[in-house]
Amino acid sequence: MTSREKVRRALNHEAGPVPVDFGSTGLTGLHVSCVAALRDHYGLPPHPEKVWEPFQMLGEVEDDLAAALGSDCVGAMGRGTMFGFANEGWREWKTPWGQVVLVPADFRTREAENGDVFIFPQGDTSVPASGHMPAKGYFFDAVVRQEPIDEDNLNPADNCEEFTVMTAEEITHWRETFARMQGENRAIVSGIGGTGFGDIALVPAAFLKHPKGIRDIAEWYMVLLEDPDYVHQIFDYQSKVALQNLETFAAIAGDAIDVITICGTDFGTQTSQFCSVQTFNDLYAPYYRRINDWIHEHTTWRTFKHSCGAVRPLIDSFLAAGFDILNPVQCSATGMDPNELKAEFGDRVVFWGGGVDTQKTLPFGSPAAVRTEVLERLKAFSPGGGFVFNTIHNTQARTPVENIVAMVDTVREFNHAGA
């Protein structure tokens, strides 16, 4: 059975070996420091690691490391980054924690006297920085650069400037990407951007030099309540552009991909939800349904919904909006017990993640504790298929390599025992 066949069986809720994903998306990846540590552990040739996702400082999981980890998925990555520059023209950069990595040519930073690092949109150092990494940090936070707004005269077009039709450069990138990936026996996961409505990571628009409209996170959440018509107009425009881009993308990708990432919008906190079920159904669901219905009508792809937190009350609504996959399955959040989730939703949704807690167990537990939790999650989520193993969100910096290896070994042993 190939890796792609393993993943497809899981997507079809068929029993079999549990497939694994390490690094196919910006939601299932590993910090670049962890990638280097794993390469060293497995005796793979050392070299500066590529930071393919600079916002979270995620490292590229190359084919040799993917094989060592037993990863069954690979990402078909877009051309751009969260800071608006392309992943090209790689050069060395020394991180605040002392690691030499490879970054794109337009990854341009400025270091403050206290050691804080600032990064600039589209590599333009003449405009205000759009990202900030504290001196002892390991990834960037978006810098809010909201210009003064007139609350009585809001223009939805201001919050739509980032939604554009796919450029000739992007089309060329996708054609070259899928030509290069012909014959790939892993499941291919991809995404075009612009399909996640109200994603708070994107609202500040770290990729724009001078973003207009509502870009402050607190004000964005308030406008959902105070002026939902404003948000509807944004989402309506965004969805129309997204559908046009999906048509272009589908003509290029065809059946090459298995899963498409639609949404990184978080709807859950540690203990509750950012909005009510009714608000989701009224404000968000119509636009997600547009996107998911088009995909299901025109392609064989499965749609991937990311939301951290306590989202159990929203899962029925996610499914009604056409999502096939839920990630990262934050089992530590209120109401997210893995056995209960599997019993209630396991025949209708694919759980992609939930394999081990990245807030406590994986970074701070012992290898034995990691093994115990991984086994518990495998036993909870794997019966009858519908489960792709991944950690709960990305594996963070300073996670002990022995804990990551314990996780990998446990999944491999579990699958071998069930063979």
CB 207 within 8 A of CB 140: no
The domain locations on the chain are 3-44+61-81+146-417
Average pLDDT, the chain: 97
pLDDT of 15 higher than 90: yes
List pLDDT tens digits, range 152-181: 899 999 999 999 999 999 999 999 999 999
CB 326 within 8 A of CB 303: no
pLDDT of 25 higher than 80: yes
Which residue type occupies 239? S
415 CA to centre of own chain: 26
**Kind of pairing, strands 259-263 and 187-190?**
parallel
pLDDT of 74 higher than 90: yes
Confidence class for position 70, pLDDT limits 50, 70, 90: very high
Instruction: Render 95-121 in DSSP notation, one character per residue.
Output: -TTS-EEEE-TT--EEE-TTS-EEE-G
Q: Which residues of 321-347 are buried (b: 16+ CB within 10 A; e: fewer)?
A: bbbbbbbbbbbebebbebeebbeebbe
Place of tokens 């963070």: 396
% of the chain residues with pLDDT over 90: 99
pLDDT of 31 higher than 70: yes
Pick the CATH number of 3-44+61-81+146-417 from 3.20.20.210, 3.30.70.920, 2.40.50.840, 1.10.287.990: 3.20.20.210
Structure confidence at residue 383 (pLDDT): 98
List pLDDT tens digits, range 169-216: 999 999 999 999 999 999 999 999 999 999 999 999 999 999 999 999
Which residue type occupies 145? R
Structure confidence at residue 151 (pLDDT): 87
pLDDT of 24 higher than 90: yes
List pLDDT tens digits, range 77-121: 999 999 999 999 999 999 999 999 999 999 999 999 999 999 999
Structure confidence at residue 418 (pLDDT): 81
Instruction: Render 193-226 in DSSP notation, one character per residue.
Output: SS-STT-TTTTT-TT-SS--S---HHHHHHHHHH
Q: What's the rounded mean pLDDT across residues 276-303? A: 98
Q: Can you tell me the distance from the alpha carbon of 312 to that of 163, in angstroms, rounded to the nearest whole number?
A: 30
Q: Give the phi and the psi of residue 154 in degrees, each rounded to 5.
A: -70, 140
Confidence class for position 419, pLDDT limits 50, 70, 90: low
CB 131 within 8 A of CB 83: yes
CB 219 within 8 A of CB 150: no
CB 244 within 8 A of CB 250: no
Tell me the CA distances in angstroms from 57 to 35, 86, 120, 320, one per residue in order.
11, 15, 15, 34
Q: At what angle do helices 285-298 and 228-253 cross, to 10 degrees?
A: 10
Confidence class for position 299, pLDDT limits 50, 70, 90: very high
List pLDDT tens digits, range 343-352: 999 999 999 9
Tokens of 94: 């020394």
**Kind of pairing, strands 91-94 and 100-103?**
antiparallel
Dmax over CA atoms of the chain, in Å, equals 64
- Beta-carbon neighbour count of residue 23 at 10 Å? 27
Burial of residue 3 (number of CB atoms within 10 Å: 0-12, 13-18, 19+): buried
Confidence class for position 336, pLDDT limits 50, 70, 90: very high
DSSP code for 42: T
Q: Give the phi and the psi of residue 12 in degrees, each rounded to 5.
A: -90, 10
Give the predicted TM-score (pTM) of the model: 0.97
Structure confidence at residue 53 (pLDDT): 98
What sign does the CA torsion over 200, 211, 119, 241 have?
A: positive
Min mean pLDDT across 236-245, 323-332, 366-375, 410-419 is at 410-419
Q: Can you tell me the distance from the alpha carbon of 351 to that of 270, in angstroms, rounded to the nearest whole number?
A: 18
